Amino acid sequence: MRIATYNVNGINARLPVLLKWLEETKPDVACLQELKAPDEKIPKQEIENAGYTAIWHGQKRWNGVAILAKNGLEIEETGRGLAGEPEDEQSRYIEAVINDTTIGCLYLPNGNPAPGPKLDYKMRWLQRLSKRAKELLDSDVAVVLTGDYNVIPTEKDVYKPERWFDDALFRPEVRKAFHELVAQGWTDAIRKLYPEETIYTFFDYFRNAYQRNAGLRIDHFLLSPHLTNKLKDGGVDNHVRGWEKTSDHAPVWIELEE
Protein backbone atom coordinates (compact mmCIF):
# COMPACT_ATOMS: atom_id res chain seq x y z
CA MET A 1 0.00 0.00 0.00
CA ARG A 2 1.40 3.31 -1.08
CA ILE A 3 0.56 6.22 1.23
CA ALA A 4 1.46 9.78 0.34
CA THR A 5 1.29 13.12 2.10
CA TYR A 6 1.17 16.46 0.36
CA ASN A 7 0.73 20.00 1.65
CA VAL A 8 -0.94 21.42 -1.45
CA ASN A 9 -1.09 25.07 -0.32
CA GLY A 10 -4.56 25.72 -1.73
CA ILE A 11 -6.41 22.76 -3.26
CA ASN A 12 -8.16 24.84 -5.92
CA ALA A 13 -5.11 26.83 -6.93
CA ARG A 14 -3.22 23.53 -7.07
CA LEU A 15 -5.82 21.32 -8.72
CA PRO A 16 -3.95 20.71 -12.02
CA VAL A 17 -0.76 19.85 -10.14
CA LEU A 18 -2.63 17.61 -7.71
CA LEU A 19 -4.40 15.70 -10.48
CA LYS A 20 -1.20 15.31 -12.52
CA TRP A 21 0.63 14.01 -9.45
CA LEU A 22 -2.17 11.55 -8.58
CA GLU A 23 -2.23 10.30 -12.16
CA GLU A 24 1.54 9.93 -12.22
CA THR A 25 2.18 8.30 -8.83
CA LYS A 26 -1.21 6.65 -8.12
CA PRO A 27 -0.96 6.44 -4.34
CA ASP A 28 -3.51 4.20 -2.63
CA VAL A 29 -3.97 6.86 0.03
CA ALA A 30 -3.17 10.57 -0.20
CA CYS A 31 -3.24 12.81 2.85
CA LEU A 32 -3.57 16.47 1.90
CA GLN A 33 -3.02 19.58 4.00
CA GLU A 34 -3.60 23.31 3.63
CA LEU A 35 -6.65 22.96 1.44
CA LYS A 36 -7.48 26.65 2.06
CA ALA A 37 -11.08 25.97 1.13
CA PRO A 38 -14.35 25.47 3.00
CA ASP A 39 -16.11 22.11 2.63
CA GLU A 40 -18.37 23.37 -0.15
CA LYS A 41 -15.42 24.46 -2.28
CA ILE A 42 -13.55 21.17 -2.24
CA PRO A 43 -13.35 19.95 -5.88
CA LYS A 44 -15.18 16.70 -5.16
CA GLN A 45 -16.05 15.88 -8.75
CA GLU A 46 -12.49 16.23 -10.01
CA ILE A 47 -11.18 14.05 -7.18
CA GLU A 48 -13.84 11.46 -7.97
CA ASN A 49 -13.00 11.57 -11.67
CA ALA A 50 -9.37 10.93 -10.76
CA GLY A 51 -10.45 7.66 -9.15
CA TYR A 52 -10.52 8.60 -5.47
CA THR A 53 -13.03 8.86 -2.68
CA ALA A 54 -12.27 11.53 -0.12
CA ILE A 55 -13.11 12.73 3.33
CA TRP A 56 -12.15 16.23 4.34
CA HIS A 57 -12.23 18.79 7.10
CA GLY A 58 -12.16 22.14 5.40
CA GLN A 59 -12.17 25.71 6.63
CA LYS A 60 -12.62 29.05 4.93
CA ARG A 61 -9.38 30.71 3.92
CA TRP A 62 -6.84 28.64 5.87
CA ASN A 63 -5.84 25.18 7.01
CA GLY A 64 -7.98 22.22 5.97
CA VAL A 65 -7.06 18.53 5.67
CA ALA A 66 -8.30 15.64 3.55
CA ILE A 67 -7.72 11.93 3.09
CA LEU A 68 -8.14 10.42 -0.38
CA ALA A 69 -8.44 6.69 -0.93
CA LYS A 70 -8.22 5.00 -4.30
CA ASN A 71 -11.52 3.57 -5.52
CA GLY A 72 -11.99 0.07 -4.18
CA LEU A 73 -10.52 0.93 -0.78
CA GLU A 74 -13.03 1.48 1.96
CA ILE A 75 -12.47 4.62 4.01
CA GLU A 76 -14.02 4.87 7.45
CA GLU A 77 -13.60 8.17 9.24
CA THR A 78 -12.66 7.76 12.91
CA GLY A 79 -12.28 11.36 13.97
CA ARG A 80 -11.67 14.99 13.13
CA GLY A 81 -10.01 17.56 15.30
CA LEU A 82 -8.06 16.80 18.47
CA ALA A 83 -9.51 16.68 21.97
CA GLY A 84 -8.44 19.09 24.66
CA GLU A 85 -9.42 22.49 23.29
CA PRO A 86 -13.12 22.59 22.41
CA GLU A 87 -12.98 26.20 21.24
CA ASP A 88 -10.31 25.36 18.64
CA GLU A 89 -11.87 25.93 15.23
CA GLN A 90 -8.81 25.32 13.07
CA SER A 91 -9.18 22.31 10.75
CA ARG A 92 -5.91 20.49 11.18
CA TYR A 93 -6.61 16.83 11.88
CA ILE A 94 -8.64 14.07 10.26
CA GLU A 95 -8.37 10.36 10.86
CA ALA A 96 -9.65 7.27 9.09
CA VAL A 97 -9.24 3.52 8.90
CA ILE A 98 -8.27 2.24 5.46
CA ASN A 99 -7.20 -1.32 4.79
CA ASP A 100 -7.01 -2.12 8.54
CA THR A 101 -4.63 0.79 9.03
CA THR A 102 -5.48 3.89 11.00
CA ILE A 103 -4.30 6.96 9.15
CA GLY A 104 -4.05 10.32 10.88
CA CYS A 105 -3.63 13.28 8.53
CA LEU A 106 -2.35 16.37 10.30
CA TYR A 107 -1.34 19.94 9.68
CA LEU A 108 0.56 21.14 12.71
CA PRO A 109 0.50 24.90 13.42
CA ASN A 110 3.47 26.87 12.14
CA GLY A 111 4.05 28.77 15.38
CA ASN A 112 5.70 31.91 14.01
CA PRO A 113 6.29 34.60 15.03
CA ALA A 114 7.97 33.07 18.07
CA PRO A 115 7.86 33.45 20.94
CA GLY A 116 4.22 34.46 21.22
CA PRO A 117 0.64 33.19 21.18
CA LYS A 118 1.12 31.27 17.93
CA LEU A 119 4.01 29.31 19.37
CA ASP A 120 1.96 28.68 22.52
CA TYR A 121 -0.84 27.28 20.34
CA LYS A 122 1.65 25.10 18.49
CA MET A 123 3.02 23.69 21.75
CA ARG A 124 -0.49 22.95 23.03
CA TRP A 125 -1.38 21.33 19.71
CA LEU A 126 1.71 19.12 19.93
CA GLN A 127 0.61 17.99 23.39
CA ARG A 128 -2.91 17.27 22.15
CA LEU A 129 -1.51 15.31 19.22
CA SER A 130 0.79 13.38 21.56
CA LYS A 131 -2.19 12.41 23.66
CA ARG A 132 -4.06 11.06 20.63
CA ALA A 133 -0.88 9.33 19.44
CA LYS A 134 -0.51 7.58 22.79
CA GLU A 135 -4.15 6.44 22.68
CA LEU A 136 -3.57 4.97 19.24
CA LEU A 137 -0.41 3.16 20.37
CA ASP A 138 -2.25 1.76 23.38
CA SER A 139 -5.07 0.54 21.16
CA ASP A 140 -2.56 -1.78 19.53
CA VAL A 141 -3.54 -1.21 15.89
CA ALA A 142 -1.46 -0.33 12.83
CA VAL A 143 -1.17 3.45 12.62
CA VAL A 144 0.35 5.99 10.27
CA LEU A 145 0.48 9.58 11.49
CA THR A 146 1.44 11.74 8.57
CA GLY A 147 1.33 15.30 7.34
CA ASP A 148 2.97 18.66 7.64
CA TYR A 149 4.43 18.67 11.16
CA ASN A 150 6.09 22.06 10.76
CA VAL A 151 8.98 20.63 12.78
CA ILE A 152 12.58 20.31 11.59
CA PRO A 153 13.68 17.32 13.68
CA THR A 154 17.48 17.73 13.51
CA GLU A 155 20.20 19.93 12.06
CA LYS A 156 20.47 17.44 9.23
CA ASP A 157 16.99 18.44 8.13
CA VAL A 158 17.65 22.08 7.29
CA TYR A 159 20.03 23.67 4.78
CA LYS A 160 21.39 26.25 7.23
CA PRO A 161 20.62 25.32 10.84
CA GLU A 162 22.22 28.46 12.26
CA ARG A 163 19.57 30.59 10.58
CA TRP A 164 16.71 28.64 12.07
CA PHE A 165 17.48 28.33 15.79
CA ASP A 166 14.94 30.99 16.78
CA ASP A 167 12.31 29.88 14.31
CA ALA A 168 9.18 28.08 15.53
CA LEU A 169 10.00 25.18 13.20
CA PHE A 170 13.34 24.53 14.87
CA ARG A 171 13.27 25.99 18.39
CA PRO A 172 14.54 23.62 21.08
CA GLU A 173 11.19 23.23 22.84
CA VAL A 174 9.47 22.36 19.55
CA ARG A 175 12.06 19.77 18.64
CA LYS A 176 11.94 18.37 22.15
CA ALA A 177 8.17 17.94 21.99
CA PHE A 178 8.47 16.22 18.61
CA HIS A 179 11.21 13.90 19.83
CA GLU A 180 9.15 13.02 22.90
CA LEU A 181 6.25 12.17 20.64
CA VAL A 182 8.44 9.90 18.50
CA ALA A 183 9.87 8.35 21.66
CA GLN A 184 6.43 6.99 22.56
CA GLY A 185 7.33 4.24 20.13
CA TRP A 186 6.97 5.74 16.66
CA THR A 187 9.30 5.39 13.71
CA ASP A 188 10.23 8.33 11.48
CA ALA A 189 9.83 6.34 8.27
CA ILE A 190 11.83 8.51 5.91
CA ARG A 191 14.75 8.80 8.32
CA LYS A 192 14.68 5.06 8.85
CA LEU A 193 14.94 4.47 5.11
CA TYR A 194 17.63 7.11 4.64
CA PRO A 195 19.63 7.42 7.88
CA GLU A 196 22.28 9.79 6.52
CA GLU A 197 20.95 11.45 3.38
CA THR A 198 19.94 15.06 3.11
CA ILE A 199 16.21 15.00 2.45
CA TYR A 200 13.96 18.02 2.13
CA THR A 201 10.20 18.25 1.66
CA PHE A 202 9.74 22.03 1.61
CA PHE A 203 11.42 24.78 -0.39
CA ASP A 204 10.16 28.30 0.01
CA TYR A 205 9.21 30.39 -3.00
CA PHE A 206 11.90 32.98 -2.30
CA ARG A 207 15.45 33.17 -3.55
CA ASN A 208 15.24 30.13 -5.81
CA ALA A 209 15.23 27.88 -2.77
CA TYR A 210 14.27 24.81 -4.80
CA GLN A 211 16.96 25.36 -7.43
CA ARG A 212 19.55 25.88 -4.69
CA ASN A 213 18.31 22.84 -2.73
CA ALA A 214 17.83 25.15 0.25
CA GLY A 215 15.06 23.17 1.91
CA LEU A 216 13.58 21.82 5.11
CA ARG A 217 12.35 18.36 6.06
CA ILE A 218 9.07 19.04 7.85
CA ASP A 219 6.59 16.58 6.31
CA HIS A 220 6.85 13.27 8.12
CA PHE A 221 5.51 9.76 8.44
CA LEU A 222 5.35 8.28 11.92
CA LEU A 223 4.69 4.54 12.00
CA SER A 224 3.39 2.48 14.90
CA PRO A 225 5.45 -0.62 15.85
CA HIS A 226 3.21 -2.93 13.79
CA LEU A 227 4.35 -1.22 10.64
CA THR A 228 8.08 -0.72 11.14
CA ASN A 229 8.94 -4.06 9.59
CA LYS A 230 6.43 -3.57 6.79
CA LEU A 231 8.11 -0.42 5.53
CA LYS A 232 9.40 -1.33 2.06
CA ASP A 233 10.24 1.96 0.43
CA GLY A 234 9.64 5.66 0.47
CA GLY A 235 10.82 9.00 -0.79
CA VAL A 236 10.05 12.53 -1.87
CA ASP A 237 8.49 13.36 -5.24
CA ASN A 238 11.01 16.14 -5.59
CA HIS A 239 10.33 16.92 -9.23
CA VAL A 240 6.75 17.94 -8.44
CA ARG A 241 8.17 20.95 -6.61
CA GLY A 242 9.61 22.02 -9.95
CA TRP A 243 6.29 22.07 -11.79
CA GLU A 244 4.47 25.25 -12.82
CA LYS A 245 2.07 26.72 -10.25
CA THR A 246 3.23 24.17 -7.69
CA SER A 247 3.05 24.06 -3.89
CA ASP A 248 6.06 25.05 -1.81
CA HIS A 249 5.97 21.52 -0.38
CA ALA A 250 6.88 18.38 -2.29
CA PRO A 251 4.81 15.21 -1.87
CA VAL A 252 6.29 12.47 0.31
CA TRP A 253 5.35 8.78 0.12
CA ILE A 254 5.96 5.40 1.69
CA GLU A 255 5.24 1.87 0.55
CA LEU A 256 3.95 -0.61 3.14
CA GLU A 257 3.86 -4.36 2.64
CA GLU A 258 0.29 -5.65 2.59
Instruction: State the nearest-atom distance from the C-beta of 13 to DNA, in Å.
Output: 3
Residues 168-197 that bind DNA (CB under 7 A): 169
Q: Enter the DSSP assignment of 99.
A: T
43 binds DNA (CB under 7 A): no
Cα–Cα distance measured from residue 71 to residue 54, given in angstroms and rounded to the nearest whole number = 10
Bridge-based pairing of strands 101-107 and 142-148 is parallel
Query: How many residues interact with DNA (rule CB under 7 A)?
Result: 32
- How big is the CA angle at 209 (ends 207 and 213), to the nearest 5 degrees? 145
Piece of the chain touching DNA by CB under 7 A; list 93-101, 106-114, 189-197, 224-232:
106-114
Strands (E) in the chain, as ranges, are 2-7, 29-33, 52-57, 65-70, 75-80, 93-98, 101-107, 142-148, 187-188, 219-223, 231-236, 252-256
Contact 218, 149 (CB under 8 A): yes
174 contacts 127 by C-beta, under 8 angstroms: no
Among 6, 21, 56, 202, binds DNA (CB under 7 A): 202
The answer to whether 120 is a known ligand-binding residue is no
20 near DNA, rule: CB under 7 A: no
Give me the 206-235 binding string for DNA, x by CB under 7 A, dash otherwise.
xx--------x-x-----------------
234 forms beta bridges with: 254
Residue 12 or 238 with smaller CB distance to DNA? 12
Rounded to the nearest 10°, the torsion over CA 215, 222, 240, 108 is -70
Among 3, 28, 31, 36, binds DNA (CB under 7 A): 36
Residue 107 falls in the annotated catalytic set: yes
By the criterion CB under 7 A, which residues form the site for DNA? 7, 9-10, 12-14, 34, 36-38, 41, 60-62, 109-110, 112-113, 118, 148, 150, 169, 202, 204-207, 216, 218, 245, 248-249
Q: Which residues are known binding-site members for Mg(2+)?
A: 7, 34, 148, 150, 248-249
Q: Could you list the active site residues? A: 107, 148, 249
